[in-house]
Chain A
Amino acid sequence: MSVPSRSEPMNFIGGEWTRPSGAATLDVHEPATGQVIGRIVESSQEDVDRAVAAAREAFDHGTWGKTSALERSRLLIRLGTLIQREAGRLAEIEARDTGKPASVAKADIVALARYFEFYGGAADKLHGETVPYLNGYFVTVTPEPHGVTGISCPGTIRRRCSAGRWPPRSRSATPRCSSPPRMPAPRRSPWSISWWRRVSRPVP
């Protein structure tokens, strides 16, 4: 199995692969062999600032904040379909990145796609309610997105973990920055999520 390696670790901000502010990287080791199979960015405060700014822009002023429930639903479902299309390659990367047995990695990618299918189907079905009140009043209670959400997840169930958090938030129209932290040692298998983003959009 050959997995192309990226020459330069980057973050994904504002729809683009972005050079980090600094040179700090973390080695990614393949658990099955202990070998270094790649590097990821060790993001700085500045990198996080950029990511939050991009999310704020998308939510406050950009397209995402204005995207309808129906359109969000379609985007999520479409992403689930793309994940199924890339399932073979994603499972290979996941297995290599986390050491999990091949069939488990495949099953995890199936589950990943299902997450997007489920929340894609839910996106336009989260209703509010009306509350009976005093005469002459009409009261509604409506769900709203938080805004910008930060998601941190570990390496061992990287994809499913991040997927589990993203769709509910997406469905509520809240863009997210994701930092997979680990304290204090280097990050565990974030390489696979970086790669996932990459296969969704070929790097020039």
Chain B
Amino acid sequence: MVEAGFPAGSVNIVTGSGAGAGAALAAHPGVDFVSFTGSPEVGQIIQKLCADHFITCTLELGGKSPQIVFADADLDAAIPVIVKAITQNSGQTCSAGSRILIERSAYDAVIARLKTAFEAVRVGPPEMDVECGPIITAKQRRRVQGFIDKAKADGIPVIAEGTIVPDAPEGGYYVAPTLFGPTPRDNVIAREEVFGPVLIAMPFDDEEDAIALANGTDYGLVAALWTRDGSRQMRFAKRVRTGQMFVNCYGAGAGIELPFGGSGKSGHGREKGFAALHDFSKTKTTVFHHG
């Protein structure tokens, strides 16, 4: 940064914990704006601290983003993308596609394809360069495993699991990617963000049911629709509550050009793209009276 020529003080970095440095930053009277990415619980704390000195913030919180798959979906295209959307970064992105909603008539066929693809996912250390890596901390690993264990205890069927490679170092934070289904709509794993490589499958009956299911969590960050029906694409694009809607794709390279952000428990404000320039600025209206 210094080599690039950024003047002293233009960028400063302090590390620390949320309770310490994070809260101090949001609360500091010398700060005019805050951008926070993290859990919804801490996001609420940050926003309240911002309110105390009348500044705004953008919040990038969690997600429980649905992949909505109709019977006419191109599964050759969809399946690899859907698997990658939950195993990439070990499912540790706010934008992870952590639910797959499947038209009931196609449920068995889609699950069969997903099962095969999921079982091929390997988890290992970076140098092995496999499909999935470890969870970021020991604590987070326990949390993810806790969700998996509870879902199993609740009797939700495990359709498939990926494999932790035999040579994975013993002390590492590895979790086997897990596909559950069919998942009861009121189960905690159907509604809460796991933040790990866990995909839950649910059947739906028709378009109205799919939209209700897609919109049926507190989150609203990313969604994807897999169908060849153009009118259906338009209807869903308008009605699904989400900041990013993908049609026959998911993520699409996550280009910087694409505004990104959520609503509800996913947060607010838009980052990336030109939208970020507007969110991260304020405006001044100047009125000249020249007569």
Chain A residues within CB distance 8 Å of chain B: 1, 9, 11-16, 26, 29, 31-35, 40-45, 47-49, 51-59, 62-64, 67, 75, 78-79, 82, 95-96, 98-105, 111, 114-115, 118-119, 122, 126, 128, 131, 133, 136-157, 161, 164-166, 168-172, 174-190, 193-194, 197, 200-201
Contact = CB atoms under 8 A, between A and B. Distances in A.
Contacts of B19: 181, 183-184
B246 interface: no
A152 B25 contact: yes
Given A44-B21, A142-B283, A157-B89, 11 more contacts: A31-B172, A64-B9, A111-B256, A145-B282, A153-B38, A156-B136, A165-B280, A169-B33, A179-B22, A185-B137, A197-B13
Nearest to B140: A188
B54 interface: no
Candidate in B13, B18, B34, B278 with the most chain A CB atoms within 10 angstroms: B13
A110 to B, nearest CB: 11
Interface stretch (B106-114, B122-130, B152-160, B179-187): B122-130
B88 A104 contact: yes
Q: Which of A95, A141, A149 has the most CB of B within 10 A?
A: A149
Given A99-B172, A149-B35, A187 B9 contact: no
B6 A164 contact: no
A82 B281 CA distance: 27
12 contacts: A9-B15, A31-B137, A99-B172, A101-B128, A114-B255, A137-B289, A139-B285, A145-B282, A172-B277, A185-B137, A185-B139, A197-B13
A174 B32 contact: yes
Given A78-B5, A139-B287, A101 B23 contact: no
Contacts of B18: 152, 181-184
B30 interface: yes
Contact of B135 (A15, A31, A96, A165): A31
A176 B286 contact: no
Nearest to B24: A48
Given A32-B133, A137-B287, A164-B256, A43 B281 contact: no
Interface in B31-82: 31-39, 41-42, 45-46, 55, 60
A170 B6 CA distance: 10
Interface string B243-276: 0000000000011110000000000000110101
Interface of B: 1-26, 28, 30-39, 41-42, 45-46, 55, 60, 88-90, 92-93, 124-140, 168-169, 171-173, 254-257, 271-272, 274, 276-291
B280 A156 contact: no
A156 B32 contact: no
A31 to B, nearest CB: 4
Given A148-B30, A183-B42, A54 B8 contact: yes
Contact of B9 (A62, A178, A188): A62
A114 B22 contact: no
Contact of A187 (B17, B36, B127, B130): B17
Contact of A79 (B6, B125, B134): B6
A108 to B, nearest CB: 9
Contacts of B30: 52-53, 55-56, 148
A141 B4 CA distance: 32
Contacts of A75: 4-6
A111 B260 CA distance: 15
A180 B21 CA distance: 8
A82 B6 contact: no
